[in-house]
Amino acid sequence: MSKKTYFSNLKCRECGRLYEKEAIHICEFDFGPLEAAYDYDAIREVLTRKLIESRPQTMWRYRELLPIDGEPTVGAQVGFTPLVKADRLAKALGIRELWIKNDTVNYPTLSFKDRVVSVALSRARELGFEVVACASTGNLANSVAANAANAGLKSYVLIPSNLEQGKVLGSLVYGTNVIGIKGPYDQVNRLCSEIAGKYGWGFVNVNLRPYYAEGSKTMGFEIAEQLGWKLPRHTVVCMASGSLLTKIHKAYKEFINLGLVEKSEFTIHGAQASGCSPISTAFKRGTDMVKPVQDPQTIVKSLAIGTPADGYYAIHSMRETGGSAEDCTDDEVVDGIKLLAETTGIFAETAGGVTVACTRKLIESGKIPRDESAVLCITGHGLKTQEAIIGKVGEPRIIGASLREFEALVADEVTLKS
């Protein structure tokens, strides 16, 4: 890997003012979000498909496009999850070609959040933080806890107190400090902003947010590389704060700009659960004014952010690429989880059910034409949200350990080998 960093500044998304690469996330002049900026001309000189392909299969093969100064010290194994061709799902949904970007098997905590955390914590160490923390709907907490444990950093994770057991245990096991807040995610997040200012901790999605957010680009980079250095015609992304969607958009644009892929038409669609769909609702209304959802009511807790920080930008990414937003009910989420599992062998969490269910609607409404191709971003593992499907996928049929009972059970289902 090249030693030099190409990460030059933080830059306000609104006014373009440049800032030093510190633990700050908001422009002092207009409160615009700060984003990592790079020396693209220098990157163009060094970064080739061949160089990337020669590197280990992790998200750090795109090192020049990530916002740290030295080598990654946290999460060196994260990313490069499978891109799976899903012919049986394509047939079920009535479309020519579908691919699943399978972040249910991301390392080490089975969600796409390992991408953002490895960047945020690598940067946190460069900036000298000894305590790291986050406001989370579950997956981020799991990943901060695990990666901080491995790095020997002290961590605090703050979550709504009503999360799924798998998400709670999936943080506690690492010995982190788990704090459950009585109230929805927005209140957790507001509290974290206060704590970050007062205690000087590195909150991965508050004061370290510009670094954290860039990690999501690697999902887009990998999709393009795994398709043979081509952009997918359609990409469907589920949205919580909307950050992942905007960063996949940024990733595709960076690859075009650097000549790593040819310029081609691409469209990005966003998906939410109807019980908390501030971004899709604003999009469907034709506005970019995202109205907060005060009291999210959905089984899709990982996406239940009522005041999405990047909602405005996600709407612009969808519009700019000709995309659409959809939302789906909790029953449709469960159907989506089951359909994905039954046709691909991939067990996704509720957020994945949202992506599948909304993709179905986008195909049925013609927003994704049936003769085209789409990539579905499946962002977390189903073992973490088992509550959502308990009692909805049948029960084992229980018998005694006797051949007679077995044969009585399957008599109508199978024929004997003669």
Ligand X SMILES: *Cc1c(COP(=O)(O)O)cnc(C)c1O
Q: Which of 1, 2, 4, 14 binds Zn ion (CB under 5 A)?
A: 14
d(CA 304, CA 13): 25
369 binds, among ligand X, Zn ion, none (CB under 5 to 8 A by kind): none
* Alpha-carbon distances, residue 159 vs 73, 84, 106, 267, 380 (angstroms): 26, 32, 21, 33, 17
Looking at beta carbons only, is 6 or 350 nearer to ligand X? 350
Q: Which of 58, 207, 302, 359 binds ligand X (CB under 6 A)?
A: 302
Question: In sequence order, which residues have a C-beta less than 8 Å from that of residue 196 and are 6 or more positions away?
Answer: 133, 203, 206, 207
Using the rule CB under 5 A, give the single segment among 4-12, 33-41, 180-188, 352-360 that binds Zn ion: 4-12
290 binds, among Zn ion, ligand X, none (CB under 5 to 8 A by kind): none
Q: Which of 1, 2, 18, 30 binds Zn ion (CB under 5 A)?
A: 30
Q: Is 86 in the site for ligand X (CB under 6 A)?
A: no
Task: Decide: 380 and 302 in contact? Cβ < 8 Å.
Answer: yes
Sheet architecture: strand order including 267-273: 83-85, 97-102, 373-378, 234-238, 267-273, 325-328
Of the CA atoms within 13 Å of residue 362, those in its CB half-sphere come to: 33
3-state secondary structure 265-296: CCEEEEEEECCECHHHHHHHHCCCCCCCCCCC
Q: Is 12 in the site for Zn ion (CB under 5 A)?
A: yes
Q: Is 139 in the site for ligand X (CB under 6 A)?
A: yes
For residue 213, the minimal CB distance to ligand X (Å) is 8
Q: Is 349 in the site for ligand X (CB under 6 A)?
A: yes
111 binds, among Zn ion, ligand X, none (CB under 5 to 8 A by kind): ligand X
27 binds, among ligand X, Zn ion, none (CB under 5 to 8 A by kind): Zn ion
Q: Is 204 in the site for ligand X (CB under 6 A)?
A: no
d(CA 63, CA 58): 10
Q: Which residues 221-250 are close enough to bind ligand X by CB under 6 A?
A: 238-244
Q: Which residues 154-193 are close enough to bind ligand X by CB under 6 A?
A: none
Nearest to 332 by CA among 378, 281, 298: 298
Residues listed for the chain: 418
For residue 366, the minimal CB distance to ligand X (Å) is 25
Q: State the first-to-last Cα distance of the chain, in angstroms, to the nearest integer.
A: 62
Give the count of residues interacting with Zn ion (CB under 5 A): 8
Q: Which of 379, 382, 388, 389 binds ligand X (CB under 6 A)?
A: 379
For residue 18, the minimal CB distance to Zn ion (Å) is 10
Give me the residues that bind Zn ion (CB under 5 A), please: 12, 14-15, 17, 27, 29-30, 32
